Chain A
């Protein structure tokens, strides 16, 4: 008996199946199953109390796609995603280049600049909401103390300004992650390549453009993919800081869906929106993957 067990254990295939079995179960029960369920729900009217479903065809989709609120929310999400990622990539490259220099205290600077990333997202949102507080927030207090403004700015009062504040808050926390990844890539640039470039008379700007940037390009793409996925699903900062307001100015798509589900108890429509987001994510990822492949 034991011998037989041993023999089968030696078999590559049966070992493999044994090893992936738990993962397969989890993926099926918690992933594939629920996704199929969402697809079904998106085609139904769901009674929010009894959860009874009634087939409704593509109604949820057509209603969603013809709703200006949905498109406005998509627009805000894209704005948030594009601006925050552009900002974070630009700052990330700058900071990584800085930290790649040799200077005294570099270790300390590097350690300190990771701190924001250790602050949980929810704490971060509360912290900045407090700092941006109109009457008692430190930012307005400082601006007034230095006579830059006479009266506190209503940071979270104007739709555009608020959205940009939220981008700032997201950037403060995510910049360390972006920087660390880019720094890791920068450190693989060999000294000899750099020396060769310097010998050829390349100045600092030239070295950045033609030596550093090309060599961190794969990592830039990776960060781009990772951050897009994260930015597109932004929810917690919005929930804490603005609840989608003011005037729906920060109504990102995740929050819009949440609202549809829990305020209007419209599960079918929520499911349809969730699937539309998923499709958008997939298309984006495919484009990125194509870009990544070209690089290799």
Chain B
């Protein structure tokens, strides 16, 4: 009886696991399959799985090779997309770097040092975590368009930095709080200034935290859409989130190219998520639990 129950439980677990894997993996797989299906098969309602495989779209999106049978606009759209990948990478890397550089030292001060305005300033930093980006869209837009800052990568870095910085501070100050105070006190007694204690003791002890926050901040920037849509409309300045849905003809969306672009846009986040899995969980949870 007991054994039978145990067997049943095993079976239940494996069925659940299979459903979970199918649900998670199939759409991603389908995106890839669509990207390598020839165009005539993609718009054939009677075909379930592709009968032929083509890498033409990748050749086009990566090297701009003009391919027979692919829609005529695709070459130009591919060029925009390539530039967008570069743009998104630059914006995400710089925003993440700057936010961590600024955010880490501030988080340390918030977590450890006593000064007037600590609470107020920390609260206002966290406040922007709550703020819907749309509420800042209008003032940003007015200032940016008036001062001729539209279509500039630096504009996107600035408007993203506000939100990413809030996130960094939210998480990092908890990481700093988690280090035992004795470590820094020992350093202070040895004659270190607070700055030295921060650089020599606190920073090395929170390196895993930096990995987590860095990866998540990068993903936030890579995913950002609304500001990218409004502030970077020229072909030169477009972000990947905008460029990815612009493959099409006058008749409609070119889903083959869109899926190819989708695969390209997913590669970097996929690598980050898989490699830093463990850190990312800590970046998600530790910002939240201890307050």
Q: Hey, which bits of chain A sit against chain B, CB under 8 A?
A: 6, 9-13, 15-20, 22-24, 26-27, 30-35, 37-38, 41, 51, 94-95, 98, 101, 103, 105-106, 109, 111-123, 125-131, 133, 135-136, 138, 141-142, 145, 152, 172, 176-177, 180-181, 183-185, 204, 218-219, 222, 226, 229, 232-233, 235-236, 239-240, 254, 257-258, 261-262, 267, 270-271, 274-275, 277-278, 281-282, 285, 292
Q: Are B222 and A16 in contact (CB under 8 A)?
A: no
Q: Are A229 and B121 in contact (CB under 8 A)?
A: no
Number of A-B residue pairs with CB-CB distance less than 8 Å in the complex they form: 278
Name B247's closest neighbour in chain A (CB-CB): A126
A271 and B285 CA atoms in complex are apart in Å by 33
Cβ contacts B261-291/A at 8 Å (1 or 0 each): 1100110011011100100111011001101
Residues of B within 8 Å of A128, CB to CB, are 27
Q: Are B134 and A277 in contact (CB under 8 A)?
A: yes
Residues of A within 8 Å of B226, CB to CB, are 235-236, 254, 258
Least distance between A235 CB and chain B CB atoms (Å): 6
Residues of B within 8 Å of A281, CB to CB, are 130-132
Tell me the interface secondary structure of chain A in the complex: helix
List 22 interface pairs A-B (beta carbons < 8 Å), by A numbering. A16-B109, A19-B105, A19-B106, A19-B198, A22-B102, A22-B106, A120-B223, A120-B266, A120-B269, A122-B241, A122-B265, A126-B244, A127-B259, A128-B27, A130-B255, A219-B288, A233-B133, A254-B134, A277-B135, A278-B132, A281-B131, A282-B130
Residues of A within 8 Å of B66, CB to CB, are none
B146 interfacial contact with A, CB 8 Å: yes
B58 interfacial contact with A, CB 8 Å: no
Least distance between B55 CB and chain A CB atoms (Å): 19
Q: Are B193 and A98 in contact (CB under 8 A)?
A: no
Q: Are A130 and B102 in contact (CB under 8 A)?
A: no
Residues of A within 8 Å of B143, CB to CB, are 34
Least distance between A3 CB and chain B CB atoms (Å): 12
Cβ contacts B103-142/A at 8 Å (1 or 0 each): 1011011100111101001001101111111111111111
A226 and B171 CA atoms in complex are apart in Å by 13
Cβ contacts B26-54/A at 8 Å (1 or 0 each): 01101100100000001111001000000
A116 and B31 CA atoms in complex are apart in Å by 12
Residues of A within 8 Å of B134, CB to CB, are 233, 235, 254, 257-258, 274, 277
Tell whether A10 pairs with B194 under 8 Å between CB atoms, given A123-B265, A219-B285.
yes
Number of interface residues of B (CB under 8 A): 97
Contact with B25, one of A9, A115, A145, A274 (Cβ below 8 angstroms): A115
Q: Are A30 and B20 in contact (CB under 8 A)?
A: no
Name B192's closest neighbour in chain A (CB-CB): A10
Q: Are A16 and B223 in contact (CB under 8 A)?
A: no
Contact with A127, one of B31, B124, B241 (Cβ below 8 angstroms): B31
Q: Are A240 and B146 in contact (CB under 8 A)?
A: no
Name A32's closest neighbour in chain B (CB-CB): B124
Name B262's closest neighbour in chain A (CB-CB): A123
Q: Are A38 and B259 in contact (CB under 8 A)?
A: no
Least distance between B97 CB and chain A CB atoms (Å): 13
A183 and B285 CA atoms in complex are apart in Å by 10
A239 and B223 CA atoms in complex are apart in Å by 14
- Minimum-distance CB pairs A-B, first 10: A274-B135, A34-B139, A16-B115, A16-B113, A19-B109, A123-B262, A222-B288, A23-B106, A236-B225, A30-B162
B17 interfacial contact with A, CB 8 Å: yes
A126 and B13 CA atoms in complex are apart in Å by 32
A112 and B113 CA atoms in complex are apart in Å by 42
A236 and B142 CA atoms in complex are apart in Å by 22
Name B169's closest neighbour in chain A (CB-CB): A23
B63 interfacial contact with A, CB 8 Å: no
Q: Are A34 and B113 in contact (CB under 8 A)?
A: no
B204 interfacial contact with A, CB 8 Å: no
B71 interfacial contact with A, CB 8 Å: no
Contact with B281, one of A17, A118, A184, A226 (Cβ below 8 angstroms): A184
Within 8 A of A (CB), among B160-203: 161-162, 165, 169, 193-195, 198
Name B142's closest neighbour in chain A (CB-CB): A51
Least distance between A31 CB and chain B CB atoms (Å): 5
B10 interfacial contact with A, CB 8 Å: yes
A239 and B241 CA atoms in complex are apart in Å by 12
